[in-house]
């Protein structure tokens, strides 16, 4: 199948959405599909307000549509709710072309946290954007329920995977970890307000707190929490080594739809401490994670969990299975015409 994926999130951004799309596109091509990714690097762009590292593409509907048409796409997927996907959405609707969308990010929660405005204002936009889609792909049952409660139907599952060749318990540790007091409590992800990182860094827990990642809140958090170790963004085996050498992985976010970093940590044998919210409640079990409203207590409990059980659990997530679910949710043009 010829599949066009339109996304406002792409490299050099480093986040779960980008890593998911890159991994699934690779698997799709391995499976024999042809994939076109239409991303911001193909156009001029402007920085996103409050997120300057995220570029918003300046793309006309005709330009995006011409790329889809020239590729002769049989299926179109809109991965995000930004300007590129808005242009593709408009083009598809004008030509009565079916398309699918995905809900990767708790967009209303994120924007409400940054603006102080009510979430319902942003749910109106989310409903408007996704309603014409043939299917809206979500990663967990709790996010499915969230969308349905907010008036979005035709929701289908799309799970996540792990690169099991990279994320293993024997990944070499960072040299720094040999000098840090244990237990090492690790966070990996964007350093931004919506990740609730302050809730982790402010805890009075023994050992060392390590942050891997970058983002707009990094400078302020480094200033406020000088005892924490901020290592910046890491990827591949360097990231895997940080996971594998940590004693516990801490996931303080209350707004993520899945939390790809959790299953990467588990594949490296590291238990997870988290709040009992969407994402963790869908992914973790009592054998591999501790979920408590008291995050400090969750960290203490997670430290007692069996690392071998964590690694075995993490190894159960594959990008091939994720790609297969993605394909099953698509609505090719030929199927619509046959109907």
Q: What are the DSSP E strand ranges found in 58-121?
A: 75-78, 100-102
CA distances from 202 to 78, 83, 198 (A): 38, 37, 6
pLDDT of residue 285: 97
β-partners of residue 308 are none
Q: What average pLDDT does this structure show over 96-110?
A: 86
Between residues 38 and 58, which one has the greater pLDDT? 38
Whether the per-residue pLDDT at 191 is higher than 60: the answer is: yes
Give the number of C-alpha atoms closer than 13 A to the C-alpha of residue 266, restricted to the C-beta side: 29
Indicate the domain borders of the chain. Answer: 2-161+319-338, 175-314
pLDDT of residue 330: 97
Q: Using N-to-C axis directions, what is the helix angle for 83-94 and 119-130, rounded to 10°?
A: 40
pLDDT tier, 44 (very low <50, low <70, confident <90, very high otherwise): confident
Superfamily of domain 175-314 in CATH is Glycogen Phosphorylase B; (3.40.50.2000)
pLDDT of residue 155: 96
Whether the per-residue pLDDT at 336 is higher than 60: the answer is: no
pLDDT of residue 116: 73
Whether the per-residue pLDDT at 339 is higher than 90: the answer is: no
Counting residues of the chain whose pLDDT is more than 70, the rounded percentage is 94
The 10s digit of each residue's pLDDT in 227-254 is 999 999 999 999 999 999 999 999 999 9
pLDDT of residue 107: 67
Q: Is 213 left (phi over 0), alpha (psi -120 to 50) or beta?
A: left
The 10s digit of each residue's pLDDT in 294-323 is 999 999 999 999 999 999 999 999 999 999
The 10s digit of each residue's pLDDT in 122-178 is 899 999 999 999 999 999 999 999 999 999 989 999 999 999 999 999 999 999 999
Q: What average pLDDT does this structure show over 184-192?
A: 96
pLDDT tier, 338 (very low <50, low <70, confident <90, very high otherwise): very low
DSSP-based three-state secondary structure for 289: strand
CATH topology of domain 2-161+319-338: Rossmann fold (3.40.50)
Contacts of 312 (CB under 8 A, 6+ apart): none
- Phi/psi of residue 272, each to 5°? -120, 140
pTM: 0.88
Q: What average pLDDT does this structure show over 104-113?
A: 70
User: Is 175-314 the same fold as 2-161+319-338?
Assistant: yes
Q: Which of 83, 91, 121 is nearest to 4 (CA)?
A: 91
Q: What is the Cα–Cα distance from 143 to 94, expressed in whole angstroms?
A: 29
- The residue length of the chain stands at 339
Structure-token pair, residue 207: 């050992």
Whether the per-residue pLDDT at 113 is higher than 70: the answer is: no
């Amino acid at each position: 199948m010829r599949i066009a994926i339109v996304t406002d999130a792409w490299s050099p951004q480093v986040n779960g959405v980008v890593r998911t799309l890159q991994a699934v596109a690779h698997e799709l091509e391995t499976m024999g599909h042809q994939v076109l990714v239409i991303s911001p690097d193909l156009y001029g762009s402007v920085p996103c307000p409050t997120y300057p590292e995220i570029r918003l593409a300046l793309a006309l509907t005709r330009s995006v549509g011409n790329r889809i048409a020239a590729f002769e796409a049989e299926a179109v997927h809109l991965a995000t709710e930004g300007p590129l996907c808005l242009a593709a959405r408009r083009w598809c609707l004008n030509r009565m072309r079916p398309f699918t969308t995905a809900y990767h990010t708790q967009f209303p929660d994120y924007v409400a946290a940054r603006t102080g405005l009510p979430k319902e204002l942003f749910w109106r936009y989310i409903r408007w954007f996704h309603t014409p889609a043939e299917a809206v792909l979500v990663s967990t049952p709790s996010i499915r329920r969230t969308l349905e409660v907010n008036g979005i139907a035709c929701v289908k599952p799309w799970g996540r995977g792990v690169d099991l060749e990279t994320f293993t318990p024997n990944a070499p540790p960072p040299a720094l970890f040999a000098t840090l007091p244990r237990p090492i409590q690790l966070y990996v992800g964007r350093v931004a307000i919506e990740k609730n990182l302050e809730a982790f860094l402010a805890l009075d827990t023994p050992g060392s707190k390590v942050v891997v990642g970058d983002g707009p809140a990094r400078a302020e958090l480094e200033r406020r929490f000088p005892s924490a170790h901020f290592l910046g963004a890491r990827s591949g085996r360097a990231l895997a080594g940080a996971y594998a050498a940590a004693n516990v992985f801490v996931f303080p976010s209350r707004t993520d739809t899945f939390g790809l970093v959790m299953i990467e940590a588990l594949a490296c044998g590291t238990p997870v401490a988290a709040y009992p919210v969407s994402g963790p409640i869908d992914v973790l079990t009592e054998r591999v994670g501790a979920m408590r409203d008291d995050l400090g207590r969750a960290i203490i409990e997670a430290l007692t969990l069996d690392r071998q059980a964590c690694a075995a659990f993490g190894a159960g997530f594959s990008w091939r299975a994720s790609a297969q679910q993605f394909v099953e949710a698509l609505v090719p043009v030929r199927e619509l015409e046959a109907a």
